[in-house]
Structure formats: structure tokens, C-alpha cells
Amino acid sequence: MIKETRSPLSHIRGPGSAKAGTRDFLIRRLTDAANASLALLLIASIIALTGANYSTVRSYLGNPLVAIPPLQLVLCGTWHMRIGMQIVPEDYIHKEAPKVISFGFEQSPFAVVALAGIYVVLKDRHPRQGTT
């Protein structure tokens, strides 16, 4: 028989302060690396298009595969921001009701930013016929 090392009170209270801190820490590190890589890719593509004429840039941006890295950057960036801002109420608001309300108000802007970023990347993805 295995001896239980946790106290009866710890069974009632649950994991305590170690709820999701490690998971959030790892996700922040992964999104850090992904954001840096995707931002460098975006900067490289902008530099590669420097001096190109309008039709070349238009055809490049009209390629559906070109939309994937900016979409990843928008989604990964907003996810990273959301997790980072989640720390504030967790650390500084100690009563449960204000904390829940704070999470609701705090998380909404990130959904709006993500949707706006997705719209900007996906709008007008197809090259127009008859324009140069």
C-alpha cells in the first residue's frame, strides 16, 4: 500500500498556487519563440518586396500561402498577450468575484484584436481582374 503524503486539507483545497502556472509559463515561452520567428519571416518578406512594382507585390500578397504566417503571427501574438495579461488579476486581485469580472473585461479586447487581425490579413486576398 502506498502511503499518502498529502494532508487532508490539501485534498480539499486542491493544487493551491500550482494550478496552471507551469503550463502558462511554457505556453508563453513557446509563443515567444513563435512570435519572434514569424516576425522575422514577415520582415524578410517585406524587405524582399522592397523596390518591387505594384503588380509584383499584388500578386505576391494574392497568394493564399502568403497569408498563413501573418495569420499565425496575429493568433499567436494575441494568445501571448492574453496569457500575459491574465497574470495581473491572478496576482493582484484576491477576491473571487472581482477576479472573475476582471477576467471577463480583460479577455474581450484580445478576441477583438485577433478578429480584426484575421480580417485585415484575409480581406481582399484574391487578385482583382482587370487592374494593374
What is the per-residue pLDDT across 1-50, written as a single tens digit (0 to 9) for each?
566 666 666 555 555 555 667 888 888 899 999 999 999 999 999 999 99
Measured distance CA(62)–CA(124) in Å, rounded:
8
| Predicted TM-score of the model (pTM) | 0.69
What share of the chain in percent tops pLDDT 70? 78
The topology under which CATH files domain 19-122 is 3 helical TM bundles of succinate and fumarate reductases (1.20.1300)
pLDDT of residue 98: 85
Q: How sure is the predictor about 69, in pLDDT bands with cuts at 50, 70 and 90?
A: very high
Domain boundaries, the chain: 19-122
Tell me how crowded residue 67 is: count the other CB atoms within 10 A of its CB: 15
DSSP, residue by residue, 94-125: -SHHHHHHHHHHHHHHHHHHHHHHHHHHHTT-
